[in-house]
Amino acid sequence: MPRIVEPLSPLVVSRLDKPGLYAVGGVAGLQLQVTTTGSRSWVLRVRVGSKRRDIGLGGYPTVSLAQARDKARAVRQQIEQGVDPVLERQAAKARLVAAQAAQLSFDEAVKQFLQSKRQEIVPKAAQHWKNTLATYASPVVGQMHVGDIGLGHVLAVLEPIWTTKTETAKRLRGRIEAVLAWAIVRGYRQGDNPARWKGNLDAVLPKPTKVAPVKHMRALPYPEMPDFMCRLALIDGQGARALQFAILTAARSGEVRGATWQEFDLTAKTWTIPAERMKAGKIHHVPLCDTAINLLKALPTGTPGDYVFPAKRGGMLSDMTLSAVTRRMGVDAVPHGFRSTFRDWAAEQTDYPREVAEMALAHSVQGVEGAYRRGDLYDKRVQLMADWSGYLAPRAGGDA
């Protein structure tokens, strides 16, 4: 049993300033500890089961003598009830740390989600994710814990732009859903995903196609292509050459504008676009017809890392440069629309299987067909692109 001492008064306690332990009475085992640095704190020396514990009760004078005695009595009552105050304090701290770890903000969840998907989402697409989420979602839910985000919060993000920027809103919804799905699997939230469309948001938001009908890229009908290519060949400038090359290869404008000489093997007649520059994030091998080869050979060559179609002042051509070419020619079409023109020609004027044309456009083949198809049908695409060039050739100097 601890030695029972005469209770000290607050005045006497205030004068204890020499290093040591002083029993202050009032509660068995309660002591004031004075260190060599002059700091003072309360300690309750008590036996818990088979162990002796020195339990800190706070600093003096922040914790007064009366408060220290009240704390000491509460600790002794815990012990009498079979509770180890030290173990209970450690468990409470562990629960607090776990609770704080689970309180992940939406902005932080976006960062961790994109990091976990870095091998799946190409850098350019990842930047689009960051930009849209930062612009529209972060101001509303960025600092909220992902576990607290509900349907009302998601609607507060989407409704202001659902009818005015429908395509952006549609993509934003999918990105929020993906981030929250990741948070559910990682244990940061429970329950349903409030950004899910089917059976959820579709009940409160109009279908995207109803508020913003799909607008297809303006494309030139394929019967007009031979004349167009003849006129295009007579126009000077890198924009015209890049547009010619994009049409001959059925490639996207960005893929052509970002092309460097190191991606080409003119002997093998192949253009290899690295995965990080492709929309689908997969390497793409483009067969080059003779017309495309001749176009490349006529260009000034540079170092392997140089752009094939550089801007006048260096760097990459802008997408507006290619669009400006069609505007000057008085053609109601955009560069991306020529991919649609190629697709219509392949479907209506050739007997090539659908998947050959789709792979020429670097589209993903979906469903069971895509799951079982492992090749890229390169040999068949070689002939397809030669035929396409031949169709364009009558008055445009096509393949011999």
Question: What is the rounded average pLDDT of the residues 264-292?
Answer: 92
In the prediction, which pLDDT does 257 show?
A: 93
Average pLDDT over residues 306-326: 90
Q: With 80 as the cut, is the pLDDT of residue 397 above it?
A: no
48 vs 172, higher pLDDT: 172
The per-residue pLDDT for 97 is: 61
| Average pLDDT value over all residues in the chain | 87
d(Cα 274, Cα 277) in Å, to the nearest integer?
6
3-state secondary structure the chain: CCCCCCCCCHHHHHCCCCCEEEECCCCCCEEEEECCCCCEEEEEEEEECCEEEEEEEEEECCCCHHHHHHHHHHHHHHHHCCCCHHHHHHHHHHHHHHHHHHCCEHHHHHHHHHHHCCCCCCHHHHHHHHHHHHHHHHHHHCCCEHHHCCHHHHHHHHHHHHCCCHHHHHHHHHHHHHHHHHHHHCCCCCCCCCCCCCCCHHHCCCCHHHHCCCCCCCCCCHHHHHHHHHHHHCCCCHHHHHHHHHHHHCCCHHHHHCCEHHHEECCCCEEEECHHHCCCCCCEEEECCHHHHHHHHCCCCCCCCCECCECCCCCECCHHHHHHHHHHCCCCCCCCHHHHHHHHHHHHHCCCCHHHHHHHCCCCCCHHHHHHCCCCCHHHHHHHHHHHHHHHCCCCCCCC
214 or 29, which is more confident = 29
Residue 348, pLDDT > 90, answer: yes
Q: Which fold has domain 222-392?
A: hpI Integrase; Chain A (1.10.443)
Indicate if the pLDDT at residue 165 is higher than 70.
yes
**Hunting for tokens 């959820």 — which residue is that?**
200
Mean pLDDT computed over 314-337: 89
Main-chain phi, psi angles of 358, to 5 degrees: -65, -40
For residue 373, the model assigns a pLDDT of: 40
Report whether pLDDT(213) > 70. no
| 125 band by pLDDT with thresholds 50, 70 and 90 | confident
Q: Which CATH class is domain 106-211?
A: mainly alpha
Count of beta carbons in the 10 Å neighbourhood of residue 205: 20
pLDDT bin (cut points 50, 70, 90) of residue 264 is: very high
pTM for this model (two decimals): 0.52
Which has more pLDDT, 137 or 6? 137
Q: Looking at residue 182, what is its pLDDT?
A: 94
**Is the pLDDT score of 211 beyond 60?**
yes
- Predicted pLDDT at 204: 93
Question: How is domain 10-96 classified at the CATH fold level?
Answer: Double Stranded RNA Binding Domain (3.30.160)
CA 383 to chain centre: 38
Q: Is the pLDDT of residue 184 over 50?
A: yes
CA–CA gap between residue 42 and residue 63 (Å, rounded): 8
pLDDT higher than threshold 70 for residue 400: no
> Domain segments of the chain: what residues?
10-96, 106-211, 222-392
Higher pLDDT, 91 or 141: 141
Q: How confident is the model at residue 274 (pLDDT cuts 50, 70, 90)?
A: very high
Which region, left, alpha or beta, applies to residue 26 given φ > 0 means left and ψ of -120 to 50 means alpha? left
The predicted model gives 112-122 an average pLDDT of 87
User: 145 pLDDT band (50/70/90 cuts)?
Assistant: very high
pLDDT band, very low/low/confident/very high, at 336 (cuts 50, 70, 90): confident
372 has a pLDDT exceeding 80: no
pLDDT at 167 over 60: yes
- Tell me the per-residue pLDDT of 233-258, one tens digit each, with 9 for 90 and over: 999 999 999 999 999 999 999 999 99
